[in-house]
Amino acid sequence: MKLSTAIAFLVAAVAEGHYTFPSVANSQDWYYVRTTANFQSNGPVTNVQSEDMRCYQRTPGTGAPGTLNVTAGQSIAYNAKASISHPGPMAFYIAKVPTGQTAATFDGKGKVWSKIYQDHPKLGGTMTWPSQGARSVNVQIPKCLQDGDYLLRAEHVGLHSASSAGGAQFYISCAQITVSGGTGTYSPKNLVAIPGYLTATDPGIMINIYYPVPTSYTPPGPAVETC
């Protein structure tokens, strides 16, 4: 096998084990979701202090072509390209777009993000993750949101190499949505800035999930907000 062919094979094998989150609902890739820097490589973010942690955008400052209309209380599918192949937690965050901006122009900076979904592993002889192998994960848009534009951020953390600091792999993207029909009573207690909401040694992202198998697990980031 020629060296160039071998290298190409290895690159393809690595990329195959990774994934992106390029679409929501039944839309085409990168129409409602901002194109991420890993749209071809599928590679993760590993530096939790990087600006890439926010939306992992290929071209910061450039929004997606469209914004999805969503009814508050509705569940929508956030889709993975191929499937979520690594073990680890899935979370969704949401940020209200300030007055005078749109979902396509808002950069998501500052303490504007709240967590609206978090899954948990089944513990026992191994850690079993509900999102592993999934091609999409449904997230309910809180029915108590104010009407308006939002960024909806998908975050999956691959923990297969997370036994040392910087080993956790973050797969991230942001969708643009317009919410209507909400009650307007949403009042999150734990708004966070991204980056800034994690450190590399947080127990939820620096962990050996294989041996000894953990008997408890605390997901990274803030608590889930409820209506």
The pLDDT of residue 126 is 93
CATH number assigned to the domain covering 18-180: 2.70.50.70
Predicted local confidence at residue 154, as pLDDT: 98
**pLDDT tens-place string over residues 169-209:** 999 999 999 999 999 999 999 999 999 999 999 999 999 99
Please list the helix, strand and coil fractions of the chain in percent, rounded to the nearest 5, in that order.
10, 25, 65
Average pLDDT, the chain: 93
Quick one: pLDDT band at residue 61, thresholds 50, 70, 90?
A: very high
Mean pLDDT value of segment 134-155: 98
The amino acid at residue 186 is Y
7 versus 203: which is more confidently predicted? 203
pLDDT, one tens digit per residue, over 80-104 is 998 999 999 999 999 999 999 999 9
Token duo for residue 94: 């949401």
Per-domain residue ranges for the chain? 18-180
- What is the arrangement of strands in the sheet containing 136-140, beginning at the earlier edge strand? 23-24, 75-79, 136-140
Residue at 145: amino acid letter: L
pLDDT of residue 104: 98
Question: If DSSP codes are grouped into helix, strand and coil, which group holds residue 128?
Answer: strand
* pTM reported for the whole predicted model: 0.92
